[in-house]
Amino acid sequence: MSSSLLARFADRFDGPDLRVAPTSVLSASVLRVEVLAGLTVALALVPEAVAFAFVAGVAPLVGLYAAFIVGLITALIGGRPGMISGATGALAVVMVSLVAAYPPGVGVQYLFLTVILMGLIQIFVGIMRWGKFIRLVPHPVMLGFVNGLAIVIGKSQIDFFKTADGTWMPTGQLVMVLALVSLTMVVIWGLPKLTHAIPAPLAGIGITATVVIAFGLPVPNVGDLASIAGGLPTFGLPDVPLNYDTLTVILPYAVILAAIGLIESLLTLNLVGEITGQRGGASQECIAQGAANTVTGFFGGMGGCAMIGQSMINVKSGGRTRISGVAAALFLLTFILVASPLIEVIPLAALVGVMFMVVIGTFAWNSIKILAIVPRIDAAVIILVTIVTVMTDLAIAVVVGVIVSALAYAWQNATRIHAKAHVTPEGAKVYAVQGPLFFGSATGFIEMFDPANDPSVVIVDFADSRVADQSALQAIEAVAAKYEAAGKSIQLRHLTRDCHKLLTRAGHLMVDSDDDPDYAVAANYSVRTGILGGH
């Protein structure tokens, strides 16, 4: 998501520039905004957590406990203030096959142990500081990711317009629900133009709920999904045999869940960072997600990761510090313990309206315009990642996008290898190689030379090239062998310092040169002696 898009997103919904870092002074007004932002997020979390619990095949409270525990821990120690974590659909669709493989009540115990192992894996990734590799995700992949995510969030709201048997609501009720959704969206769009005293999404939920209750409108509410009443989560060890057979069952699921959770969380970290003007924190976020999931598994939760939709609700409601995330978790626990009758009467139409506004704000609308401007491969990656995100899941889409982008980059660099040739007054032919020499360009490099017709001395100048890998070394050896077979010598010149180290470490060449201050190595290689000497 580009900075200009984020700026328009901020202006459209909240007025102030969301890219500005949070204030360092916790005034009463800032505290009020943070707490109200947390309340807004908590209200949006309830139907999501319940729905994802159903997807995973577990009880609603398992999803709600996960939303509370994961949300609280990551808010306290996560890599970036303003992020919201909880039970997510991307993880739920993986969990369901594990839960369904066992009788009712047994599969969920295996799930709890899997979530614990998932958390430990994420902690290990954080300790190893592997979270930094998220920077390898190209911008076109990010654009496709947020576009696909927006579509997925939008599609997930469609189910709220259907009855329990999967059919559409009766026409009259459907029109009424659509009108309430529209009312919520209008309030969210228009209120920031009048005042910022209360988060627009919270106001939209409140006004729509008031209308429904005041007029007794027969529309679905949160309580129609399931009762959210419950007690405090309690500690307990998963009731499964702790042996090798159990490990072989849960380990594949734990690895997949850990990878999906970290990819989504780190991409959310980047998006929130662009909005709030913050950087870093990837490894800390990995550790926080791991700690949260490990604890969740011991307290009967289904685990989770960062939620981009709820994170966007939080930041556009004014949440900039850890207070908003902590408040959201505590409000959610309050709903479970004492306020379930009040929360269960909130119409789903109000929450759907909030999520539709998140869709509008999340989708990178400028990506449609730039498809005809950016290189074709970048446009293809944007479209591909969007489609794969919608058809499969976010993590697979990101991996596919990165692979395609990497292959495209390798191919583009492979076609850049060429050489400018000339003959010196002494009769030696010089090949001035240009472009990187690596596995993709090795074949093209070999084909540039003409051992049969070249003079007895050939000079290969690498001043404008770089020897990158073992395939490049083999290509140099192959060219040298051809000239040796033809009874001719070849000289290598202007190898950069890192190429010098690579060739020496590989044991192909012996280097003794200190007379080239610009390139560290300016060398000749004789295939007859195998000695690389200074020139």
CATH number of the domain within which 524 lies: 3.30.750.24
* Tens-place pLDDT, residues 427-456: 899 999 998 898 899 999 999 999 999 999
Grade residue 86 by pLDDT with cuts at 50, 70 and 90.
very high
Gap between the Cα atoms of 367 and 390, Å rounded: 17
Structure-token pair, residue 59:
């009880």
Would strands 305-306 and 85-86 be described as parallel, antiparallel, or unpaired? antiparallel
Helices 348-362 + 139-158 axis angle, to 10: 160
Q: What is the pLDDT of residue 93?
A: 77
Is residue 235 a part of any domain in this protein? Answer: yes
Q: Is the pLDDT of residue 82 over 50?
A: yes
Q: What is the pLDDT of residue 526?
A: 42
Is residue 203 a part of any domain in this protein? Answer: no
Q: Tell me the CB-side half-sphere exposure of residue 92, using CA atoms within 13 A.
A: 23
Contacts 24+ apart (CB under 8 A), 354-357: 354/40, 354/44, 354/184, 354/188, 354/201, 354/204, 354/205, 354/313, 355/44, 355/153, 355/154, 355/156, 355/157, 355/309, 356/154, 356/157, 356/181, 356/185, 357/13, 357/184, 357/185, 357/188, 357/189, 357/201
DSSP code for 170: P
Contact between 352 and 212 under an 8 Å Cβ cutoff? The reply is no
Same domain, 382 and 467: no
The CA-CA-CA angle for residues 142, 265, 293, to 5°, reads: 160
Is residue 77 a part of any domain in this protein? Answer: yes
Is residue 492 a part of any domain in this protein? Answer: yes
More confident residue, 92 or 120: 120
Helices 139-158 + 376-391 axis angle, to 10: 30
- Please write down the HEC assignment for all residues of 98-152: HHHCCCCCCHHHHHHHHHHHHHHHHHHHHHCCHHHHHHHCCHHHHHHHHHHHHHH
Grade residue 39 by pLDDT with cuts at 50, 70 and 90.
very high
Same domain, 378 and 522: no
- Provide the mean pLDDT of the chain: 84
Q: How many helices (H) and strands (E) does the chain have?
A: 21, 9
Is residue 30 a part of any domain in this protein? Answer: yes
Q: Is the pLDDT of residue 503 over 50?
A: yes
Same domain, 502 and 426: yes
| Number of structural domains in the chain | 2
Grade residue 30 by pLDDT with cuts at 50, 70 and 90.
confident
Grade residue 18 by pLDDT with cuts at 50, 70 and 90.
very low
Average of per-residue pLDDT across 250-271: 90
Same domain, 383 and 423: no
Q: What is the pLDDT of residue 3?
A: 41
Q: What is the pLDDT of residue 514?
A: 40
- The pair phi, psi for residue 108, each rounded to 5°, is -65, -30
Same domain, 7 and 94: yes
Same domain, 337 and 443: no
Contact between 61 and 47 under an 8 Å Cβ cutoff? The reply is no
Same domain, 265 and 130: yes
Nearest C-alpha neighbor of 285 from the set 477, 122, 169, 434: 122
Ranges 88-102, 105-119, 143-157, most confident: 105-119
Q: What is the pLDDT of residue 26?
A: 65
Contact between 286 and 125 under an 8 Å Cβ cutoff? The reply is yes
**Tokens 């300016």 belong to which residue?**
522
Q: What is the pLDDT of residue 9?
A: 38
Ranges 30-44, 85-99, 174-188, 276-290, most confident: 174-188
Task: Give how far the C-alpha of residue 345 lies from the chain's centroid of Cα atoms, to the nearest Å.
Answer: 35
Same domain, 242 and 335: yes
Same domain, 35 and 138: yes
Q: What is the pLDDT of residue 533?
A: 36
Is residue 189 a part of any domain in this protein? Answer: no
> Can you say whether the dihedral through the CA atoms of 40, 42, 47, 52 is positive or negative?
positive
Percent of the chain at pLDDT above 90? Answer: 40
Same domain, 256 and 386: yes
Q: What is the pLDDT of residue 498?
A: 65
Q: Is the pLDDT of residue 6 over 90?
A: no
Average of per-residue pLDDT across 268-278: 79
Grade residue 164 by pLDDT with cuts at 50, 70 and 90.
confident
Is residue 49 a part of any domain in this protein? Answer: yes
Contact between 246 and 113 under an 8 Å Cβ cutoff? The reply is yes
Percent of the chain at pLDDT above 70? Answer: 87
Q: What is the pLDDT of residue 528?
A: 39
Grade residue 235 by pLDDT with cuts at 50, 70 and 90.
very high
Q: What is the pLDDT of residue 389?
A: 85
Grade residue 531 by pLDDT with cuts at 50, 70 and 90.
very low
Which residues, in sequence order, are CB contacts of 380 under 8 Å at separation 6+?
Answer: 404
More confident residue, 355 or 18: 355
Gap between the Cα atoms of 448 and 482, Å rounded: 12
Q: Is the pLDDT of residue 519 over 60?
A: no
Same domain, 443 and 307: no
More confident residue, 177 or 90: 177
Q: What is the pLDDT of residue 508?
A: 44
Average of per-residue pLDDT across 370-378: 89
> Can you say whether the dihedral through the CA atoms of 507, 513, 516, 522 is positive or negative?
negative
- The pair phi, psi for residue 39, each rounded to 5°, is -65, -40
Contact between 53 and 88 under an 8 Å Cβ cutoff? The reply is no
Same domain, 127 and 233: yes
Average of per-residue pLDDT across 339-354: 89
Structure-token pair, residue 89:
């659909």
Domain holding 330, by residue range, is 3-165+226-344+363-396
Gap between the Cα atoms of 52 and 432, Å rounded: 61
Q: What is the pLDDT of residue 8?
A: 40
| pTM of this structure | 0.72
Grade residue 500 by pLDDT with cuts at 50, 70 and 90.
low
Is residue 172 a part of any domain in this protein? Answer: no
